[in-house]
Amino acid sequence: MDAVKVGLLGLGTVGGGTVTVLRRNAEEITRRAGRGISITHAAARDLSKPRNCDTTGIELTTDAEEVVSNPETEIVVELIGGDTLASEMVMKAIDNGKHVVTANKALIAKHGNEIFAAAQKKGVMVAFEAAVAGGIPIIKAIREGLAGNQIQWLAGIINGTGNFILTEMRDKGRDFDEVLKEAQQLGYAEADPTFDVEGIDAAHKLTILASIAFGIPLQFDAVFTEGISKITREDVAYAEELGYRIKHLGLTRRSNGGVELRVHPTLIPERRLLANVDGVMNAVLVMGDAVGPTMYYGAGAGAEPTASAVVADLVDVVRVLTSDPENRVPHLAFQANRLSDMPILDMTQVQTAYYLRMQAEDKPGVLAEVTRILGDSGISIEAIIQKEPLPGSDKANIIMLTHRVEERSMNEAIAAIESLPVIHGEVTRIRMETLNAD
């Protein structure tokens, strides 16, 4: 049987890695897929640019549409990124009756509902394992391996750049700005790091995970997103002192009122496996009602780890090229006509515990006034640390851990605390999750 012909859009880091993995492991991949897989055409913006792969035998072009429209191409692999040209090319590929594999989380998070509807109508597959957590097969795990479970919640470290920064801040007592510059020098962060450090990249990925976990439409605009740029090394140290570590988590949970969908810095007990995922590594912890907690750990980015997921998707598509479209694994895990209309909770409705840090004048009665405000808002305190003022200063740091409370109550309490004349500056608030298995 002839090899399946693939058209590749994008010959950057992941595109080159995909070419390399397909060629190096060709025999093994053919054994798994039942047919060979061959990249015959590829599009790149600059054909003179040095490549991290051997493009011998691949017809190269600068015109992506030429690849998408080629009648010989059965599968289009989209690795150009962004959600403008990529969206246009993916929709054209589907319209031309071609299957699609993509590593583009922004594309799926923002346009996935439209893309999957078009694919369903045309009877083609859109595979996107590489869009979340690089080489970790988290989408297949939730969509297929955990199909017998009701997913209760999942929490993930799904951006390696942010995790590297927080790890360095904790291990070496460094400031955020200093570590960010190093991350940029090492190639972990872009020149404009906003997508990584402000949580947008993680929000794209969480949108996809929540949709697959709970069978809801993709709703990127509903994700509450908060970055790590305001985290100080003092916060990291105080968290350690209290037995916690700060991680930039994407978290989604099914509750009676709807679905929580949020990305923010989070204190996690230091004994949890997720709290010990360091550097640029990714991990996702999933709680199923039957299986309990399962964790998936690995490289969340890089040429070959991400290519591993791209090639796995290619193998899946090739395996089902001749199967009945009605019996394929649904794009979002649940049958398209059975997606749920469960609402996404507004962040003010979410219940969580909190770490609070504030600068207060070092005088009697201040702590009592703060605790009174918290008590009036129905917020109980788990732990308090008061740090002595530094030499020459009359201001002390007060650090508190609270029990779980609705965010709206905490918002009101923080506003009241910040209005006190003895409190200086803003109250630092970091949410806390125990991630218990019960």
Amino acid symbol at 91: M
Give burial (CB, 10 Å; 0-12/13-18/19+) of 401: buried
Q: Which residue has the tokens 């690849």?
A: 67
b/e sequence 240-254, b meaning 16+ C-beta within 10 Å: eebebbbbbbbbbbb
Q: Which residue has the tokens 């950057």?
A: 12
Instruction: Report the distance separating Cα 123 and Cα 99, nearest Å.
Output: 9
Instruction: Report the distance separating Cα 146 and Cα 136, nearest Å.
Output: 15
Instruction: Report the distance separating Cα 385 and Cα 170, nearest Å.
Output: 19
Q: Are strands 292-299 and 395-402 parallel, antiparallel or unpaired?
A: unpaired
C-beta neighbour count of 432 within 10 angstroms: 22
HSE toward the beta carbon, residue 435, CA cutoff 13 A: 29
Is 226:199 a contact under the CB 8 Å cutoff?
Answer: yes
| Residue 71, phi then psi, degrees to nearest 5 | -65, -20
DSSP-based three-state secondary structure for 393? coil
The dihedral built from the CA positions of residue 257, 259, 265 and 269, taken in this order, carries a sign that is positive
Catalytic: which of 181, 205, 230, 247? 205
| Cα separations in angstroms, 93 against 71, 97, 122, 128 | 11, 6, 10, 15
Active site residue 5: no
Helices (H), 227-384: 233-241, 303-319, 366-376
Instruction: Report the distance separating Cα 253 and Cα 206, nearest Å.
Output: 11
Instruction: Give the helix/strand (H/E) hosting 13.
Output: helix 13-24
| Neighbouring-strand partners of residue 428 | 357
Give ∠ CA 277-282-288 in degrees, rounded to 5.
Answer: 90
DSSP-based three-state secondary structure for 292? strand
Instruction: Report the distance separating Cα 119 and Cα 93, nearest Å.
Output: 10
Q: Smallest Cα–Cα separation from 313: which of 37, 2, 88?
A: 37
Which residues are designated catalytic?
205
